[in-house]
Chain A
């Protein structure tokens, strides 16, 4: 540790240096001076948009070693001018929270617990069920003989954090499959 000096007292430093308000260099410790924010050491920053409310605040996503290390407001956005609310500021935890689920889980009929399942098996099982329920709920004609060409066996409810491109594919696929009960948070 450096030799003690009265000149290094914060209040003295405040008047010795050009930080007269005591909010900058005058009140930093050697430890603080030795570290840099994650945002300056990141490999890159990527422009994104906050996923919570519909204001559409700009976000800068900082990535180091292919890992998100910080998410901050994007000062370039004319909508938000760098600001984020508590939710937007917490969105790094959407990526890195330790309780996040990253594995496929399956609950069998009457089972009391989940079991892990590999993605391939689960996807194939969903395809089986999709096709069976589509068939079971199929209606060719109504009681007056008019064309319906639809299935009532499958429904969907989506959130409003879905991308436009995702909604487009969902609506396109379900419509082609004859499924009509496709809904969204936008109704709620």
Chain B
């Protein structure tokens, strides 16, 4: 970021949530970079930005889509980059229909399943190439496409493909380098965003045209050969029912501007927790195995079917080697018990049949299917959406294990939770056994965190943990040893995977397993031949024949040459420009991904100022200031036979080496379950109609229509004025997530002692809210109280002729008796509706009413919530329509012209204010 010429921070309050990282933004600004902050709320990030652009929460795709439109219509795109490195020239199947044609839906939508069949989004094959279109040349292609579409609503389908994205099946797609063919990705893109205009941004986002134009002008002036623009986002982009598409929109924009794979460019995900990147790389997630390999679904009954479903040997790039990564993982886990004769113990992995995410698990608890639950440094009673459902779910468990530093609310809900106060639960009736185990903290154990730029850093142990406190490593190693001992004599086949597991790690005198031994297993080693036992140095050494083992292919090399590179600590990172002697960045200690794109198609840096890696003709290889993210000896002009497949098929100008066609995807022919192009849909609870399409919501979003998870009525429906305001949630500098690591620390508790809400002076006047007094906030799920902070940082926005008031809520507090500071939890207000690609909840936009005074206590609190629900005519169907209008009775008025409809609805809406 320090190398950027323009930085757009959107969906993040970086100065307050990532304060120390923000120093690099400050450095860039000191060198003359322009900094924009696009956010509903004016924060300390806005204060030091060149410009703050307030935006209506949940409307970012309109803004980003309009920037795409601006870049295209003003001819500001980076032509050589776009033509060579993206799929702009690729021609799409003639069956494809855009959201423009179908009023907010793409072709292939199946109303019954609520998902898409992606077949019509595919590339058109080059005539005579023999390249498989659907069903041609690859017998499984048609089947798999159908399967993905039909099951999209029940699977986390977007992550079925793993890190490389899906195979495109059309391995030699038809191209038009002039970009004029009407079915080129480029022309489709132009049409798709044509109505995303500055005026639409004004009406949908509440951003004045002049502000939009300043942003658009600054970004385009700071992109191209000589200059680069960087985007930074956090959960302000991900926590939406179209969250994954927010990032896709920025990707398209950055590809058009030529800002990917270059210094000072890119899209920076500012992740919120020490090793949340590591938690997805080496996942504790239901749908992934290490290294973004998908967990097998029930359809993948054997290893061959599984491998065919994630990658084809015919596709370009390194994802074609997924078989080597998979077999090496199976060898790491099951050793000699994994061999060619049993599909490398593939059957030892349990199968998925649908989404088994954390929110579905809570439903399983309430239904009585889940008996036992481990909480490992996580506080869902406060930190997860719809806190009441979380706590009620736990009250149905037989047993609960909480491992933490403190008695967090998720450990004590049975005696001091909000449902005890309302009388919904009675401690003496709750059957759940609760075990609290104290945990070792970050200085009491050794191991690695992976930070937000993929940098793996080793922490050395400073002291031993106190009392009974243990690391997760020790607890789970011990649990595994005891389970295996209990089952040692079992002949039941279901116990084989446990008994055959490699589970023999050296321990120190306190019983703590050696973290380096585990990191070595993750790194991988040679199993056979003269080098047997040698640690591997690159994932390219992994083999699919059982001769290598490796627990997570993208981490191969962290222990190259037997050295723990995560512990590399040359002060300042060494003399190199990429500080590569501090920690180790996956993959291969590479600091900027896809950096082949930093050079032109001939291999020369786009400019001296922005050079990173380049082709050295004399040496016949890629060289530069970073480790080249490309086959190092592949000359820029190479055009290998595409039928070779894998890395061998990558042409000299295919920088996106994990994509099946080597190109950056402006258009996603497969893999995104809610459409090949990002499209604006309103949030689950929005005060306005979608100004762009008849389709109000993401039609593939995952809803949980239940009485304990009600949604507000659609705008304009009876009762939609009952919850008239938008609330959005965020974090503070002085607290951390659900507070387990901050509300118990006296220093931090003193700095931010009380739950509060931020409201504009206009809203305070409208509702009679007193500064520093109390307010009660009521959503369709719950009511909470908060101290009132009246501030101009919150600004009412004019959207489509009505005023939208937004309320800001930090979400760190929880109800209990143990923390130094407690308070009502903002997440209790939230409902659960999920992004269909990644199953993350939309938690940045919700509907709420606010009124002065404290909330009622006990039963009366429930009555207040129920009274609002009655007034709003809520049912489990409210807000949960798939295709907009499908629930309306026959004979309802026909859809009118779009602009007319917008005018009509914005003036007729009961909740609207002029």
> Which A residues lie at the B interface, using CB under 8 A?
46-59, 61, 63, 66-68, 71, 75-81, 83-91, 93-95, 97, 99-114, 117, 119, 122-127, 129-133, 136-138, 140, 142, 146-173, 175-188
Contacts and interface: CB of A to CB of B under 8 A. Distances in A.
Interface stretch (B478-486, B525-533, B870-878): B478-486
Contacts of B380: 157
A187 to B, nearest CB: 6
Contacts of A79: 20-21, 451, 455, 582
A152 B372 CA distance: 10
Contacts of A111: 427
A101 B407 contact: yes
B434 A85 contact: no
Contact of A52 (B286, B383, B430, B741): B741
B611 interface: no
Given A94-B441, A107-B434, 9 more contacts: A56-B457, A94-B442, A101-B405, A105-B436, A161-B273, A165-B447, A169-B472, A185-B279, A185-B383
Given A54-B271, A99-B820, A101-B407, A180 B448 contact: no
B358 A130 contact: no
Contacts of B741: 51-52, 87, 94, 161
19 contacts: A54-B271, A54-B275, A61-B462, A79-B20, A95-B441, A101-B406, A125-B435, A158-B378, A159-B376, A159-B378, A162-B284, A163-B515, A164-B555, A172-B333, A173-B483, A176-B498, A178-B494, A184-B276, A186-B285
B311 interface: no
Nearest to A183: B358
B303 interface: no
B358 A129 contact: no
Contacts of B19: 85-86
Contacts of B442: 48-51, 91, 94, 161
Interface-centre pick from B350, B494, B583 (highest chain A CB count, 10 A):
B350
A182 B443 contact: no
B572 A78 contact: yes
B110 interface: no
A84 B298 CA distance: 47
A108 B414 CA distance: 11
A103 to B, nearest CB: 6
Nearest to A105: B436
A164 B449 contact: yes
A130 B371 CA distance: 9
Given A56-B452, A122-B435, A187-B838, A102 B469 contact: yes
Contacts of B457: 49, 56, 58
Given A78-B572, A95-B443, A164-B447, A90 B748 contact: yes
A183 B285 contact: yes
B87 interface: no
Contacts of B482: 123-124, 127
B369 A152 contact: yes
Interface stretch (B91-99, B656-664, B731-739, B766-774): B731-739
B461 interface: yes
Contacts of B283: 167, 171, 184, 186
B733 A188 contact: no
Interface-centre pick from A48, A80, A111 (highest chain B CB count, 10 A):
A48
Nearest to B736: A52
A175 B742 CA distance: 32
A163 B278 contact: yes
A160 B473 contact: no
B301 interface: yes
Contacts of B735: 87
A157 B374 contact: yes
A142 B893 CA distance: 45
A133 B433 CA distance: 13
A113 to B, nearest CB: 8
B748 A164 contact: no
Contacts of B339: none
Interface-centre pick from B299, B471, B480 (highest chain A CB count, 10 A):
B480
B137 interface: no
B424 interface: no
A163 B275 contact: yes
Nearest to A118: B468
A154 B372 contact: yes
Interface residues of B, number: 159
Nearest to B521: A168
Nearest to B571: A76
B631 interface: no
Contacts of A125: 435
A181 to B, nearest CB: 5
Contacts of A140: 494
Contact of A183 (B357, B452, B455): B357
A183 B498 CA distance: 20
Interface-centre pick from B353, B372, B840 (highest chain A CB count, 10 A):
B372
A184 B441 contact: no
Contacts of A148: 298, 350-351, 353
Contacts of B399: 126, 129, 133
A170 B472 contact: yes
B358 A157 contact: yes
A22 B734 CA distance: 32
Nearest to A143: B353
A168 B456 CA distance: 14
Contacts of B361: 155, 157, 181, 183
B501 A160 contact: no
Contact of B476 (A46, A81, A151, A169): A169
Please give me the 8 A-B residue pairs with the lowest Cβ-Cβ distance, nearest first: A56-B451, A102-B467, A163-B447, A159-B377, A160-B273, A150-B350, A78-B573, A160-B276
Contacts of B522: 164-165, 168
B347 interface: yes
B398 interface: yes
Interface in B687-718: none
B286 A180 contact: yes
B276 A181 contact: no
B61 to A, nearest CB: 22
Contacts of B818: 99
B644 interface: no
B401 A112 contact: no
B154 interface: no
Contacts of B839: 187
A178 B551 CA distance: 18
A146 B272 CA distance: 39
Nearest to B350: A150
Given A162-B279, A181-B370, A68 B737 contact: no
Interface string B497-535: 110010100000000010100110110000000000000
A119 B702 CA distance: 41
A110 B279 contact: no
Given A102-B469, A104-B438, A148-B351, A176 B501 contact: yes
Nearest to B427: A112
B515 A165 contact: yes
A179 B503 CA distance: 17
Interface in B285-328: 285-286, 289-290, 295, 298-299, 301
B211 to A, nearest CB: 29
A168 B282 contact: yes
B364 A176 contact: no
B515 A103 contact: no
A19 to B, nearest CB: 29
B282 A48 contact: no
A10 to B, nearest CB: 30
A177 B383 CA distance: 28
A38 to B, nearest CB: 14
B624 interface: no
A106 B434 contact: yes
Contacts of A138: 494
A176 B484 CA distance: 11
B737 A103 contact: no
Contacts of A55: 18, 20-21, 451-452
Nearest to B519: A165
